[in-house]
Copies of this chain bind each other. A is one copy, B any other.
Amino acid sequence: MMSAQLPTQPAQVFSRRRTALGQRLGDAPALVFSGGLRARNYPANVFPYRADSHFLYLVGTGIPDAALLVHQGRAELFVPAKDQDDPLWHGPEPGPADFAAATGVDAVRTLDELPAAVTAAGGGDRVRTLPSADPLTRVQQGALLGRSWPGDRAPGVADLGEGDLALADAMIELRMFQDDGALSILRTAVEGTTAAHAAGMAATRPGRLEHDVRAVMERELMARGMTPAYNAIVTVHGEILHNTTYHHEIHAGDLLLADFGGELEGWATDVTRTWPASGKFSPTQRALYDIVLQAQLDAIAKVRPGVRYRDVHLTAALTLARGLVDEGVLEGDPESLVERGAHALFFPHGVGHLLGLDVHDMEDLGDRAGYAPGRARSAQFGLGYLRLDRDLAPGMLVTIEPGLYLVPAILERQSLVGPFVADGSFHPDRLERFADVRGIRIEDDVLCTTTEPEILTKAIPKEAAAVEAAVVG
């Protein structure tokens, strides 16, 4: 049970989730695996352990190489047998009784009892399961249940049979709506993420490296026992959307974009702020910053029950397009510019996604989680990258993260830009004065409630003046 700690939430949080799962599955048994430790450079040198999210949701803590069986109103946890020498090296650790009490499961048994339990539950064909994120656990799942999981990097729902899909759908129905246990941890996680952004802003100085800023931000997480929820983006090249290098020096005229969120007990936060290295936006930076901010505020205001998330995205797109028309970069009717996708030249990604135990919550299940039945990805550049297209409902936690970027590879690609230049709706020459803006993104974590949206991350400075004050604070 190396690395395993007990959950901090009451056992009823997990019992309730398991009961709800069992009700959805009726008589069918569900077997949810935790996944094992991942080798880094050799088998004994491992990455910090992170259990599969479905397991964390139902058990509350990660236990390497464990499995949870939910069947006929009972929940049983199967864990690796302890070696009698473990206490010599690992000290005293929680035992089966501790795990049972803290997680509320009916029994804690050893993994060697699992095959018989599977047989008793009707055999591998009857047991519903989902592929682990850990490839070696997938091998073990296959051997135990008589399945062949694909050996590739990303087994998808396309590989699942009907029974397993029923489990996937049940998990989606549950995890789509954050309960009090989840929100309690998330609110604490937000405190760490807030401290990290504040520290990052305060530590930014021309002459320092991106590394320096990232380091003070991660320190705030680590000091709280948190980890990054994903590989941070902390960069003066905000126009590189998937940028996880940190070696650039920060110069006085730069904007620093930090997409940085901490994780606590598996629960993720996901926040982006963009701030001026010198503590003062230039007029052109400020102009585009305020457009992005307005787009974000407009989008957040739409986070209400019954609103289709794609419309939240299009709301942000419209405000961005309107702002770019005002600046003379785009020309024409903002609504028709958005319809044709002109905004995506500057805002190529989606406005956000589900958030929960995964930073892109349940992305292991592909668009089955993010897209409502009957909806599919658009073929349009930009809109096609939207990760979520469901109708919002109370309890759904989403990110709202519009941005504006001057991406050379987009702006130089004739197939994308050509049509808009040809008909006069995009004026590339008018971008020149925005050369000191490479990329701006503003992202918050927003909870859909029965009334106003709740911005969990609202304590992190966002108005331009507040950001400036935090940088030179």
> Which of A165-173, A355-363, A443-451 is the interface stretch?
A355-363
Q: How large is the interface on A (under 10, 10 to 19, 20 to 34, 35 or more residues)?
A: 35 or more
Contacts of A136 in B (CB 8 A): 135, 151-153
The smallest beta-carbon distance between A372 and chain B, in angstroms, is 20
Q: In whole angstroms, how far apart are the Cα atoms of A89 and B240 in the complex?
A: 6
Nearest B-chain residue to A229, judged by Cβ: B45
Contacts of A91 in B (CB 8 A): 237, 239-240, 243, 409
Contacts of A2 in B (CB 8 A): 242
Contact digits for A38-57, partner B, Cβ 8 Å, 1 yes 0 no: 11111111111010110000
Given A219-B215, A231-B46, A409-B87, decide whether A39 and B133 contact each other with a Cβ distance below 8 A.
Answer: yes
The smallest beta-carbon distance between A151 and chain B, in angstroms, is 5
Q: Does A313 contact B (CB under 8 A)?
A: no
Q: Does A244 contact B (CB under 8 A)?
A: yes
Contacts of A134 in B (CB 8 A): 39
Contacts of A45 in B (CB 8 A): 230, 358-360, 363
Q: Does A282 contact B (CB under 8 A)?
A: no
> Which of A15-23, A220-228, A388-396 is the interface stretch?
A220-228
> Which of A174-182, A206-214, A424-432, A458-466 is the interface stretch?
A206-214
Q: Does A371 contact B (CB under 8 A)?
A: no
B89 with A242: CB separation less than 8 A: yes
Nearest B-chain residue to A140, judged by Cβ: B151
Q: Does A257 contact B (CB under 8 A)?
A: no
A407 with B88: CB separation less than 8 A: yes
The smallest beta-carbon distance between A473 and chain B, in angstroms, is 19
Q: In whole angstroms, how far apart are the Cα atoms of A38 and B409 in the complex?
A: 28
Q: In whole angstroms, how far apart are the Cα atoms of A48 and B231 in the complex?
A: 7
The smallest beta-carbon distance between A164 and chain B, in angstroms, is 16
Q: Does A336 contact B (CB under 8 A)?
A: no
A interface with B by C-beta (< 8 Å): 2-3, 5, 36-48, 50, 52-53, 87-91, 133-136, 139, 151-154, 209, 211-212, 214-216, 218-225, 230-231, 237, 239-247, 266, 348, 357-360, 363-364, 407-410, 413
